[in-house]
Structure 1
Amino acid sequence: MNKVVLVTGANSGIGLALCERLLSDDAEGLQLCLACRNMQRAHAARSALLASHPSAQVALLQMDTSSISSVIAASQEVKLRYNRVDYLYLNAGIMPNPHFDMKAFFKGLFSSNIITMFATGEGILTQKDCLTHDGLQSVFATNLFGHFLLIRELEPVLCYAGRTSQLVWTSSSNAHRSAFNVEDIQHQRGTQPYSSSKYACDLLSLALNTHYNKQGLSSSVICPGFVMTSLTYSILPSFPAFLWTLLMPLFWLIRIFTNTFTLTPYNGTEALFWLFKQKPESLDPQAKYHSLTSGLGNNYTEPRKMDVDLATSEALYEKLLQLENDVRKKLKEKQKESQHVMHHGSFA
């Protein structure tokens, strides 16, 4: 029976590269669903995948993880299409309005901190967040809460009797405990919402294993390494193209000294693809699985202990449940209001 694989943020970068690798491995044995916000790009991604795998089953799903109503509508569509989901890759993510500290960057180029600086963005990146139309912090909603709500909505097809299903989060080396505050899970008072949201993904994965393992659902976290994607390029939106060209040889040189510079989306998917081949019971819920590339270009996966603890993960989980309850109430109130307006409008 074909495995159903749903990938969020699948129209470019890591998500699209993962879809290509999965189909190259077993195009006949998969039902692949690309969940994307931009449907024009989604159709282009689907066409590219079918060009190299004409017999593959590749479906599209419109979903914006920053929007509560979009996630709920997409979830309903998934439950209509499939009676189960075997793999859910939680990959969609944003880093809006990044502020790049050019002075710190050039200082770091000539310091012993150069590899850490490139690999994690530490010391050179801050972001300005904004609110979604649901009133949530945009990075938190897109990277974490929308995915949490998706999992909650898809429980009937993820927790499928007699089968195991896997959740796989695309986290980051930029996921730092220091950026996260359990009393401010949306990171309203900080300047590192991306780092906070990715650390929260690490915590949530641990909590999900605590609550769902007995129902046949497991959760894992990966780090793709330093990859050149649209997210990377957006960090320096005014950076001239020729400077990126000049920096690339430096990146390849650095890779001789560190295995975290995966550089290409294909290499960055190594841990995602590796997890597809593993049995859930063999995985460590407190490990982050890193995509790594040797100086000679060989890809491999290595588990590394996450800086997480059960108490904080449980506290986050409880706060997310409460927030879910609140947003569902607000959504029902909005629906009632709109129905009321429509009802009265029909008698006007």
Structure 2
Amino acid sequence: MNRVVLVTGANSGIGLALCDRLLSQSSRSLRLCLACRNTGRAEAARSVLLTSHPAAQVDLLQMDTSSISSVIRAAQEFRLRYDRLDYLYLNAGIMPNPQFDVRAFFKGIFSSKIITMFATGEGILTQKDGVTSDGLQEVFATNLFGHFLLIRELEPLLCHAGQTSLLIWTSSSNAHRSAFNLEDVQHERGTQPYSSSKYASDLLSLALNTHYNKQGLYSSVVCPGFVMTNLTHNILPSFLWTLLRPVFFLVSSTTMDATTDGCIIDNSTSSFWLFTQKPESLDPYAKYHSLTSVRGNNYIQPRKMDIDLETSEFLYEGLLQLESEVRQKLKEQPKEDQDDID
């Protein structure tokens, strides 16, 4: 029986590398679906995958996780195509207008947090967020809420009788409790929406395990480590990345984080590794890191997340309330707009 795998944000970066790895190294028969916002780039990614794997089953699904109507429409289409979903990789994400805080950087160099600063970007990376057409903060909607709504929409396929399914969130070493506030879940008042959204995904994964494990649905979190993708390469001018490369290598040797200088396939190690594990054996409090040793060997290391059950439950209830509100707004839209979804 073919395992059905859905990957959001699959047309480039870690998402595309993961898809190639699944097709190259999996011993299981797969039906792979790439959920992407840009149809042209999705078709190009599919072509690349089929060139390397001509016999593979690779489907496309147009979906923008920042848009409520797009997520619902895509989920409806997915339910018509498939009768099961075994693995859902929640990988799509944005870091809009990243800014490098020079003052915080030089202050951090002369502090005890220098290694943490280089390893995670804490305190030196800020972003300017936007607002979606649904009235939600863009980073929150894209990185977290759109995925939450997708899970809710695909629940009948994920919680299927006699089937175990796994959600796999692409988190970050930049996920900090200090950037997250339950009273400002969408991070309207802060300057670190990316960090906030990734910390929220860590919390949400725990809550989903609490509510869905008995139905055969499990959730886990990965950290791919630092890698040059579209999210990161615009933070600094290219010449500064070159100058800082020795520093990142030193941090890599010290913290054992994967700073593989663009070898994206290595950063998908933890995501692929979870595909080979029994979901019920995974630790709901652990984030599985893709790491690279000084000798260049890749390995996985689980690290306990800075999360707690009470906060995760508050977040989960808040997202359920927001879901109810956005669905009500959709019902109140003109009939022609609803027809686009139905």
TM-score range, shorter chain: over 0.9
Alignment match, 1:146: 146
TM-superposition CA deviations, 1:94-131 (whole Å, max 9, x none): 11112211243355457664432222111211111110
Query: Aligned residue for 2:330?
Result: 331
Q: Report SS of the residue matched to 1:231.
A: coil
Q: How does 1:256-271 map to 2 (within 5 A)?
A: 256-263=253-260, 264-271=263-270
Distance 1:28 1:281 in 2: 19
CA distance in 2 between counterparts of 1:338 and 1:299 reads 49
Name the aligned partner's letter for residue 18 of structure 2.
L
Give the structure 2 partner of residue 247 of structure 1: 244
Alignment of 1:25-174 (within 5 A): 25-26=25-26, 29-106=29-106, 108=108, 113-174=113-174
In the alignment, the residues of structure 1 paired with residue 338 and residue 183 of structure 2 have an alpha-carbon distance, to the nearest angstrom, of 36
Which structure has the greater CA radius of gyration? 1
Looking at structure 2, the residues matched to 249 and 315 of structure 1 have their Cα atoms a distance apart, in angstroms, of: 42
* Equivalent position amino acid for 2:46 in 1: R
Alpha-carbon distance in 2 for matches of 1:260, 1:86: 29
**What are the Cα deviations for residues 80-99 of structure 1, in whole angstroms up to 9, with x where unaligned?**
11100100000001111122
Asked whether the equivalents of residues 119 and 261 of structure 1 are also in contact (C-alpha less than 8 Å), the reply is no
SS in 2 for 1:289: strand
Counterpart contact for 1:15–1:91, Cα < 8 Å: yes
Residues 242, 191 of structure 1: CA spacing in aligned structure 2 closer, same or farther, 3 A cutoff?
closer
Are the aligned partners of 2:92 and 2:142 in contact in 1 as well (CA < 8 Å)?
Answer: yes
Deviation at 1:335? 3.5
Inter-CA distance 112–315: structure 2 relative to 1 (3 Å threshold): closer
Within 5 Å, give how 1:216-255 maps onto structure 2: 216-236=216-236, 239=237, 241-255=238-252
Between 241-250 and 294-303, the greater mean CA deviation after superposition: 241-250
Aligned to 1:24: 24
Structure 1 residues 205-231: Cα deviation after superposition (integer angstroms, max 9, x where no partner): 000001110110000011111112111
Distance between the aligned counterparts of 2:72 and 2:24, measured in 1? 31
In structure 2, the CA distance between the partners of 1:18 and 1:338, relative to structure 1 (3 Å rule), is: closer
Give the Cα separation in 2 of the matches to 1:150 and 1:335. 23
Q: Which residue of the partner structure matches residue 215 of structure 1?
A: 215
Structure 1 unaligned regions, length at least 5: 341-348
* Amino acid in the other structure paired with 1:331: L
Contact 1:28/1:55, CA 8 A, preserved across alignment: no
CA RMSD of aligned residues (A): 1.8
How many residue pairs are counted as aligned between the two chains? 337
Q: Comparing 14-23 with 105-114, which one deviates more in the overlay?
A: 105-114
Q: Decide whether the 8 Å contact of 1:224 with 1:262 is kept in 2.
A: no
Counterpart amino acid of residue 261 in structure 1: A
Distance in structure 2 (CA, Å) of the matches to 1:289 and 1:63: 27
Contact 2:331 2:338 in 1 (8 A): no
Cα drift, residue 251 of structure 1: 2.9
Q: How much does 1:254 deviate?
A: 3.6
Per-residue CA deviation, residues 13-55 of structure 1 (Å, 9 max, x unaligned), is: 1101111110111387110111011111111111111111111
Task: For 2:249 and 2:287, locate their aligned partners in 1 and report how far apart those are by CA, in whole Å.
Answer: 24
SS at match of 2:190: coil
Match of 1:345? none
Q: CA deviation at 1:253?
A: 4.2
* Distance in 1 of aligned mates of 2:220 and 2:177: 18
> CA shift at 1:180, angstroms?
0.9
Work out the CA distance in 2 between the residues paired with 1:195 and 1:128.
Answer: 12
| Length-normalised TM-score, structure 2 | 0.94
Q: What SS is found at the alignment partner of 2:333?
A: helix
SS at match of 1:234: coil
Runs of 4+ in 1 over 6 A off after TM superposition: none
